[in-house]
Structure formats: C-alpha cells, structure tokens
Amino acid sequence: MFTRVFATIVCGMLFGAGLVVSDMINPARVLAFLDIAGDWDPSLAFVMGGALIPSTLAYFVRDRWQAPLFDDQFHVPAKGVADARLVVGAALFGIGWGLVGLCPGPAIAALTMGRWQVGLFVGAMLTGMTIYRFAFARLTLAPR
C-alpha cells in the first residue's frame, strides 16, 4: 500500500513539474494557443504532441504486461459510444478552458504560484464538482 501511494505521489509531482516546465500553468500562454484567429502561439501544440510519446509507450506496456507494477489491473476506459454525459462534460471542459486558460491539472499545479485568481478558479471548480456530486448525480447524465 505504501509503495502504491508513494508511486502515485511521485507520478503526480512529475506531472506537475511537466506542467510548470511547459508553461501550461500560464493562462495567458494557453489562451494565446487557443486564439487561432489572432496572435496564435503554437508552442503548446508541441507540448501536447510530446505527451503522445509516453502515452503511446504506456499502451505498448499495457499490451505486454498483465498488470502494472503497483496495482492489480490496468484501468483503461472501455471503448464505447459517446454518450450525453461525455459530450456535456467535454463541452463544459472546453468552454472553461477557453474562457479562463486553465484546466484542472494545471490549475492545481498553478496553486504553487500563489495567484489569487488560480485559487478562485480551483475553489469554483471544487464547488462545481461538489454540486454535481450531491445535486445532479441522480440525473440521467450521471454514471450508473
């Protein structure tokens, strides 16, 4: 159990460091990347493209190993149809990312910068997650 928790912490710290180094925690850079009709900054396309390398390697490992090092099984989403829950969630994610320039992972990493705006975003994000969990979890969009 300790090894699994330690591995999770190390992976999270590595992911957060990658977000900081790539400047994904900078909302201005993210918004400049999304502004394809204006002063477009393509640098984050390289970050996203670079993320394909370890992701691809992970799929090769998954095909060759029976289980990961620190768990009993691989947790991979089942292939299926895009349902309403997925489409609505993706739309909300995209709208929020486009309006603010932050998404959950980079927002958590950006908390280290001490900006009140990031704290406000994370607070609003956690509030929205809590409202969904307790108020809307019984709707048809909720997982069954």
Tell me: the pLDDT tens digits for 89-125? 889 888 988 888 898 888 999 998 888 999 999 999 9
Nearest to 100 by CA among 79, 76, 124: 124
Q: What is the mean pLDDT of the chain?
A: 86
Which pLDDT score, from 0 to 100, does residue 79 have?
A: 74
Quote the number of domains for the chain: 1
Residue 143 is assigned to a structural domain of this protein: no
Q: What is the mean pLDDT of residues 119-139?
A: 85
Q: What is the mean pLDDT of residues 6-12?
A: 91
Residue 108 is assigned to a structural domain of this protein: yes
Residue 83 is assigned to a structural domain of this protein: yes
| More reliable by pLDDT, 76 or 102 | 102
Which pLDDT score, from 0 to 100, does residue 140 have?
A: 54
Residue 71 is assigned to a structural domain of this protein: yes
Contacting residues for 103 by C-beta, under 8 A, at least 6 apart: 93, 96, 97
Nearest to 102 by CA among 84, 114, 120: 120
Residue 22 pLDDT class (50, 70, 90 cuts): confident
Q: Which domain, by its residues, includes 21?
A: 2-136
* Token duo for residue 75: 């947790």
Element (H, E) at 57: helix 43-64
Place of tokens 């993210």: 30
Following DSSP, what letter does each residue of 101-124 receive, concatenated?
Answer: S--HHHHHHHGGGT-HHHHHHHHH
* Token duo for residue 115: 């900006």
Q: What is the mean pLDDT of residues 67-89?
A: 83
Q: What is the mean pLDDT of residues 71-80?
A: 81
Nearest to 102 by CA among 38, 29, 46: 29
Residue 8 is assigned to a structural domain of this protein: yes
